[in-house]
Structure 1
Amino acid sequence: MDRGRGVYSPLFETKKGRGRLIYRLFSISLFTAISFIWLYRFNHIITTNYTQQEEDGGKLVWFGMLAAELWFGFYWFLTQAFRWNLVFRQPFKDRLSQRYEHMLPEVDIFVCTADPEIEPPMMVINTVLSVMAFDYPSEKLSVYLSDDGGSEITFYALLEAATFAKHWLPFCKRFKVEPRSPAAYFNGIKDTNIANELVAIKKLYNEMEKRIEDATKLKRVPQEARLKHKGFSQWDSYSSKRDHDTILQILLHKKDHDNSKDVHGFMLPTLVYLAREKRPQYHHNYKAGAMNSLLRVSSIISNGKVILNVDCDMYSNNSESIRDSLCYFMDEEKGHEIAFVQSPQAFENVTKNDLYASALLAIAEVEFHGADGCGGPLYIGTGCFHKRESLCGMKFSDEYRHNWKSEDNLSTEETLHELEEKSKGLASCSYEENTQWGKEMGLKYGCPVEDVITGLSIQSNGWKSVYYNPARKAFLGVAPTSLLQVLIQHKRWSEGDFQILFSKYSPAWYAFGKINLSLQMGYCAYCLWAPNCLATLFYSIIPSLYLLKGIPLFPKVTKQFPLNIDRNMLFCPRELNSVGKNIA
């Protein structure tokens, strides 16, 4: 707000996508083409004598073609919900700094890992170091690593990262390094003006990497490190990754005056390791359970009002991501409505030809912008900034206004050891029994894609979300590189989305009347991704077989027909609409 002139200056602006009229005309023309196909199919079924064709099953084939085309038309109609009204947002970080630089909220960052063999410790700590080095006051950052594998190798790697951070964070801030994942930065280094400093920091990194890689190969922590740090004693009662006590260690904290500052004497972010309790008789609810444990534990250690969660393979690629997201949350006019700010899933290892479409361009560059124009994008489980209260189940109210100027400061007389012991109980297996965790509070349980139903539940509580897609992507991860990996990933997504359709969280009824109709349609389109394959298979196989038999199933070019329609327009209606990406 410009107080001198009384003029409202928003912290972000929203622009409508260009070429909307052109795309809408295109959609109308495509719907007209679809209608002519339906008309042709109906007319053929009604007027044709099937006496001869029935012997070859011709009648059933034509009914099958009609059913497939009706399904394609219905599914295409649902997909238009996220293509009809694209919006693009731009934050103003300079205005944020002018108004709130001295009262920025504390931010808790959750990094989740589950298996040190699939997710190597070096990859995990590169992600941790990248988020520790955000361009944000370090004393207001707290980073939590949830290790569902309960691996002492991962803990050892994090311990090494805590030491290296004392050199890496000052280096990043001094030279404005981008990206701030050490591995990514060293692989793409081009600046030769800082040769001496670069050689020194890279040497420290290589030494750390060697120690961690050696421990990973030997599958044991060096005895010297084990004796040096008391945290390893928590593995004395360790049975297996599915049967162990809560392991929690605060590695960096302002209460530890001797081990909380970098080499220049500035405060480092809080750093916490957590392996929640696991017992065979309790269901651990996978990543959703880990996130809920982090929510509770962080509430008594740092209690940041904004929470960022990232997968362990999604490092920070843009050090200003937090400030960009706060522009949405702290806007005086619209910020109170926003529950979460979602970033796209972007990948650093996508090949030029992107053989398996791992980049998900249609979703990232078109559909989520369209979802933003309908009330907000889906929550996809990583690269997302949340308001703590909305994630914990708070319902939106028009009277709600968060007072960012009066942040709660958790300053207790407890020692770090007392704080650790108190926090362990919040990550126990039995804590959630007879509570609303996983139901009304935190991430929801009961579905492989718990992130989607959690986002839907938040939006159904009256909140909105925002899609944050800058030119320099906020986070970069690793995409599947083989056909098997892609199939496994798509199988999980499609099965999970399909389960949502028939669960209590189905957008068809759970969200009815609670969210925008177009947003509801978009959710349904994703939920119907799996059954869409049945019509696609039929439409791919049957016409080809009948072509070999010389039996046409489509209008001939020479036949008098209102429009000579290429069947490819109906074969992949969702992909065809990617034309909208270029228009928008």
Structure 2
Amino acid sequence: YGNVLPGIDIFVCTADPVIEPPTMVINTVLSIMAYNYPSEKMSLYLSDDGGSDLTFYALLEASRFSKEWLPFCRNFNIEPRSPEAYFRKAVEPINDSLWSNEWSSMKNLYEDMKKRIESVAELGRIPDDIREQHKGFLEWDTASSQRDHQTILQILIDGRDANAVDNEGQPLPTLVYLAREKRPQFHHHFKGGAMNAMIRVSSRISNSPVILNVDCDMYSNNSDSVRDALCFLMDEEIGDEIGFVQFPQCFDNITKNDLYSSSLNVIMQVEIHGMDNNGGPGYIGTGCFHRRETLCGRKYKRGSKTESLRWDHRLRIQDSASVLEETCKPLASYGYEENTEWGKEVSLSLSLSLYI
């Protein structure tokens, strides 16, 4: 069924490299890149509202590490596919020498990458030798601050490139870094504004008919999540009536007595299930698969047919990655939504998404 599976654009949102450490962010990114889904049909966009060159550096490291991590996940069918979560819970397989060697080697690769990122974080700046590794670091030469800078957009992995493959020759997902333009005199509308910028930018780069958005601290614990969601969206009887599929939130490291009710048991196990009787749960801001057309102004009418997810929606763009980067930057500018329906009739409501 791989040929008829739709493309999916995945939005990961982060906003502060101190509160949301880059190592945590890239663990979420890597867990999603390793989905059990055709890599050539996945495009992942990291929205960095913190405008941090440290976050960009961490994503650059993750793009390299993914060439080793994705085959490891695929060959040994591991879960979860966040390296940090996996190695924290897994026990080294000492009874199988081949598996043990692979396991130890991969853990060492991950720990080495983590140390490099954390060393740069402790230093508080990107060393010159690292800045020379990618042209994207030049963008921070003209950025005044995290709240006052131009659009920074870098395609770290171009899924169209025949050379964008892992160490087994399998294609890698497209990977894009985006820090939308920020100016202190203009309201940026928080996460709602970030999501809208990614909708526009992704429509030019990949234009997948399904969009998944994930908070940067919510790694995937199920590599089949995309396929599970598509069972609803592509259902031949009721699929046309479904605009989004919301997955529940689950949390690690909850205390024994859960004093702060972090497990959200009432919400996730009772209320959201109960909402199915009224057409389904609300959008909780993360772990949600949307139809792109529902975020771009399409109104639902009973009996109407939604755009088929079986079509190939990928854009036949011949432009190079560098040209795409420049042509997409205006789509994430601070003034793009002025005097338009963005945030009203099209995309996420800016007034509602302030507290998502």
TM-score (norm 1): 0.59
- CA displacement at 1:448 relative to structure 2: 5.9
Q: What is residue 116 of structure 1 aligned with on the other side?
A: 17
Residue 345 (structure 1) shift: 1.4
TM superposition shift of 1:415: 1.1
Q: Name 1:242's counterpart in structure 2.
A: 147
CA distance in 2: counterparts of 1:330 and 1:446, whole angstroms:
31
Query: Counterpart in 1 of 2:62?
Result: 161
Opposite residue 158 of structure 1, the aligned amino acid is L
Amino acid at match of 1:278: K
Unaligned runs of 5+ in 2: none
Q: In the alignment, which residue of structure 2 is the partner of 1:209?
A: 114
For the pair 1:368 / 2:272, whether they are aligned, the reply is yes
The equivalent position to 1:107 in structure 2, one of 1, 4, 8, is: 8
CA contact (8 A) 1:297 1:426 kept: yes
1:391-431 per-residue CA deviation (whole Å, 9 max, x = no partner) reads 22210122224323322221212111110101101000111
**Distance in 2 between residues matched to 1:295 and 1:103, nearest whole Å:** 23
Q: How much is the aligned-residue C-alpha RMSD, in angstroms? A: 1.2
- What does residue 224 of structure 1 align with? 129
Of 33, 36, 39, 1:135 maps to 36
Paired with 2:289 and 2:52, the residues of 1 have a C-alpha distance of 27
**CA displacement, residues 532-563 of structure 1 (integer Å, 9 cap, x when unaligned):** xxxxxxxxxxxxxxxxxxxxxxxxxxxxxxxx
1:386 maps to which of 279, 283, 290: 290
Structure-2 separation of matches of 1:222 and 1:449 = 36
What residue in structure 1 maps to residue 331 of structure 2?
426
Instruction: Tell me the SS of whatever aligns to 2:255.
Output: coil
CA separation in 1, counterparts of 2:161 and 2:126?
A: 24
Q: Distance in 1 between matches of 2:31 and 2:88?
A: 14
Cα 1:191–1:204 shift into 2, 3 Å:
closer
Instruction: Give the length in aligned residue pairs.
Output: 351
- Among 325, 349, 353, the alignment partner of 1:444 is 349
CA distance in structure 2 between the partners assigned to 1:405 and 1:205 by the alignment = 37
Q: Residue 326 in 1 paired to residue 230 in 2?
A: yes
For 1:345, give the aligned amino acid: Q
For residues 40 and 160 of structure 2, the distance between their equivalents in structure 1, rounded to whole angstroms, comes to 12
* Aligned counterpart for 1:306 among listed residues 184, 187, 210: 210
Relative to structure 1, the CA distance from residue 411 to residue 450 in structure 2 (aligned partners, 3 Å threshold; closer, same or farther) is farther
Pairs within 5 Å for 1:396-475: 396-397=300-301, 398-447=303-352, 449=354, 451=356
Q: Is the 8 A contact 1:443 1:450 kept in 2?
A: no
Q: 1:340 to 1:125 in 2, by over 3 A?
A: same
- Secondary structure of the corresponding residue to residue 240 of structure 2: helix
Using CA pairs under 8 Å that are at least 6 residues apart, name the structure with larger relative contact order, 1 or 2: 2
Counterpart contact for 2:240–2:304, Cα < 8 Å? no
Higher fraction of helix: 1
Q: Are 1:344 and 1:364, in contact at CA under 8 Å, matched by a contact in 2? A: yes
Query: How many percent of aligned residue pairs carry the same amino acid?
Result: 59
Post-superposition shift, 1:254? 2.8
Letter in 2 for 1:268: L
2:52 to 151, 168, 175: 151
Which residue identity lines up with residue 89 of structure 2 in the other structure? G
Structure with higher Rg: it is: 1
- 1:273 aligned to 2:174? no
Amino acid corresponding to residue 167 of structure 1 in structure 2: E
Q: 2:102 aligns with which of 185, 197, 202?
A: 197
Judge conservation of contact 1:141–1:269 (CA < 8 Å) in 2. yes
* Unpaired runs of at least 5, structure 1: 1-99, 452-584
Pairwise CA distance, 1:191: 5.4
SS in 1 for 2:346: coil
* Number of the residue aligned with 1:316: 220
Aligned-partner SS, 2:25: helix
- Confirm or deny that 1:264 pairs with 2:168: yes
Q: TM-score, normalised by structure 2?
A: 0.96
Could you tell me how far 1:364 is from its partner in structure 2?
0.6
Q: 1:126 aligns with which of 9, 15, 27?
A: 27
Residue 84 of structure 2 corresponds to which residue in structure 1? Answer: 183
Distance 2:285 2:231 in 1: 21
Q: How much does 1:344 deviate?
A: 1.0
